[in-house]
Homo-oligomer: A and B are copies of this chain.
Amino acid sequence: MDDIDVKIVDMLQQNARISNAEISRRVNMAPSAVLERIKKLEERRVIREYGARLDPAAVGLGLLAFVAVKADYCEDDDTGRMLAAIPGVLEVHNVAGDDCYLVKVRTRDTEHLGRLLREQFRNIPAIRSTKTTIVLASVKETNSLPLPE
């Protein structure tokens, strides 16, 4: 990763639908050279994927919550995988501390969240307890990583 790679991934982070031609103008290179670099960054998995960020409320997922999950065995990845498979579960992190998992979940409303916890989370055998934190408002939400100049 040289400076030009950093510039390229930053542009793609900021706007994944920018054209190769535009990138190549901004780094003063031929489009074919930029294409080569992007392909390699994708192969090396420095670039994982390209995605559109949608307004969750516009697709009926107005409620955001974080659920701390205590399970019998934190090391057992099956529980994590079962959590990850539940619709609305966006993130599952294995965490240090009292809890085993921290789960980010979006649902329509509190009623749907309650149903999800009762019918999905509690049905996973190893889960001992859950503690839910409701998000009232998101001040910032991005996954653009700060890159060096």
Q: How far is the CB of A74 from chain B (nearest CB, A)?
A: 8
- The CA of A52 and the CA of B147, in the complex, are separated in Å by 13
User: When the two chains form the complex, which single residue of B60, B135, B136, B139 contacts A84, counting CB atoms closer than 8 Å?
Assistant: B139
Contact with B along A87-107 (1 / 0, CB 8 A): 111111111110101100010
Q: Are B66 and A102 in contact (CB under 8 A)?
A: yes
Decide if A21 is an interface residue (CB 8 Å cutoff): no
Q: Are A53 and B143 in contact (CB under 8 A)?
A: yes
**CB neighbors of B among A58-80 (8 A):** 58-61, 64, 66, 77, 80
Q: A48-B54, A142-B90, A147-B59 are in contact. Are A102 and B133 (CB under 8 A)?
A: yes
Identify 7 new A-B residue pairs, CB closer than 8 A, beyond the known A46-B59, A50-B51, A99-B133.
A9-B52, A44-B58, A53-B143, A66-B102, A80-B139, A84-B140, A93-B138
For the complex of A and B, the 3 pairs showing the least CB-CB separation, nearest first, are: A80-B139, A84-B140, A12-B52
Interface residues of A, Cβ cutoff 8 Å to B: 1, 6, 9, 12-17, 44-56, 58-61, 64, 66, 77, 80-81, 83-84, 87-97, 99, 101-102, 106, 133-148
User: What are 16 sample pairs from A and B whose C-beta atoms fall under 8 A apart?
Assistant: A13-B54, A15-B51, A47-B54, A50-B51, A64-B93, A83-B140, A90-B142, A90-B143, A92-B141, A93-B135, A93-B138, A94-B138, A95-B134, A97-B133, A101-B139, A106-B145
